[in-house]
Amino acid sequence: MKNIFKITFIVFASLLFVNCKSSSSNKSRLTGLSFNDPKNGNYIRANSFNGQETPLGMVGVEGGSFTMGQVQDDVMFDWNTTPNKIHVRSFYMDEAEVTNSEYFLYVQYMKDVFPPSEEKYKNIYSSILPDTLVWRKSLGNTDILSENYFRHPAYADYPVVGVSWLQANEYCKWRTNAVNLKTLIDKGNIKNIFDIDTISNFFDTDVFLVDDSKLFNGDTTVYKRGIGRTIRKRGEARPARDAFQGRKITNADGVLTQRFRLPTEAEWEFAAKANVENREYNNIRGRKKYAWNGKYTRAKNKRNRGDQLANFKQGKGDYSGPSGWSSDGADIPNEIKSYPPNGFGLYDMSGNVAEWVADVYRPIVDNEANDFNYFRGNLFTKKMIDAKGNVVFAGEEGGAEIEYDTLPNGKIVPRYLPGSIKYVPITKNDASLRRNFSKADNANIGDGDANSTRFYEDDEDEIARRPSMYNSPKSPATEIDPVTGREVLVNDAKKRTTLISDRTRVYKGGSWSDREYWLDPAQRRYLPEYMATNYIGFRCVTDKLGPLSTGKRKARNPSR
């Protein structure tokens, strides 16, 4: 009896302590006003945040400082990998590239939501399809790959290729919406709309937060319950059993996932180098040449000694070694996770396929301008608001018809998906008197804009008539002046541009068709954002919220 009494007392005291702690955390520490209480304004505060869950298929990458840039000799003589000290914030990254099966899920989903059989949607489906003709060779028998690589189950877990930078970005946006929709269904906030044939599966996180009545054909009965409880006012009828209870979920509740996106160049290189393997206490010993630790591309352990640690081209006509003893296991992209991961647990950061990153390409990474989470390509936007003060949705009344852009290679892509919110660049007034940014499009800031050219003048109209920084005219030619008969220099007035532009994006890492030199994570190349190849894929990242690290700091000394 004494033991029962003790146990009962301890349980009661514990419950009392938890309730007191809970009630105190539901009040403002500075004003005493209640949070999440319908009787006192229902002001929002998340009850607790126990740390961000690692998204499916991702691993955590703890941020820090590192030397971004080359280790090997600059054999290309382009000086575009000059070492720079950069700090990167913590983030989550896909442990491997996005595969054919995962991208095919996206294709099927979009076909279901925007059926190409409908005239107004016919260009949406075609705009997301990978370019399977990237496998064709004028002097090669490779049509079997054009026909099978993307859809055949034999290649389901191979990295998707033939995807442009623009398509990779659209996939990241869709993934954000798909994960949030699944989360809301699993938590019981939304009915399983995949079981309801009469409702469109279109879901957009931004639309959900702004006006969820715009989703699911306007059918708000799909919303089952919200956060908290609903207080009935005196005289109000009791709501129906299946009526929506509580309040709508907001971003402040911490339920929705952060946006998936392409990694920045600094993030990708930091994750690929995984200097955590070379850390001794708070110092880094040496610089890494590959994603793995070591100076060579072959395994040294007894079981796999001599095997290549990545999928790459080892010489002219040598993509896999002799038959019967393949040295890297593949002559085209290989199945993901076929090679050991790096120090962060990331696969194929050197070899298999190169990968798109978010940055606009410039020859120099300017860490003098910014050495914290460096990224070139920011376009600051805001929601489009109509004359009545309402948010404008694409493809609806006020948003006009679905708008399409024609890319330089002839492909037609939607500017916005129907039903999504339209965004416009911020104006000068929005950035007035700000010290941290001054305009919407920052792709060419400090390297390609008027301020960075030798033709800088105060008159903006005069600047517009001047050649841009990356205009490359021919050298002046000598001609005979017909009047004076003297030899004069004549400048080339025709506008000619280089491949470097605000639509040129960086891709990183070596691929199955590249030599060993490109396996170095510091190497960087570029391609127009609307083009695709058979050796460039991608993976997604998402930001980590809260502290830099959630674990205990541990000393690491590999020499002992």
Query: 284-333: per-residue pLDDT in tens?
Result: 777 788 999 888 888 888 777 878 889 999 999 999 888 876 678 899 99
Beta carbons of 44 and 37 less than 8 angstroms apart: no
Helix axis angle, 165-186 relative to 100-113, nearest 10°? 70
For the cut 60, the answer to whether the pLDDT of residue 441 exceeds it is yes
Beta carbons of 546 and 52 less than 8 angstroms apart: yes
Q: How confident is the model at residue 167 (pLDDT cuts 50, 70, 90)?
A: very high
Q: Which residues contact 85 (CB under 8 A, 6 or more apart)?
A: 65, 66, 67, 68, 367, 371
Q: Point out which residues pair with 223 in neighbouring strands.
A: 190
Report pLDDT for 322: 84
Its pTM stands at 0.88
The CA distances from residue 84 to 67, 71, 81, 112, 505, in Å, are 5, 12, 9, 47, 20
Report pLDDT for 22: 46
Beta carbons of 542 and 175 less than 8 angstroms apart: no
Mean pLDDT of the region 513-534:
94
Note the pLDDT tens digit of each residue in 106-164: 999 999 999 999 888 889 999 999 999 999 999 999 999 999 999 999 999 999 999 99
What's the one-letter identity of residue 94?
D
Note the pLDDT tens digit of each residue in 497-508: 678 889 999 999
What's the one-letter identity of residue 277?
E
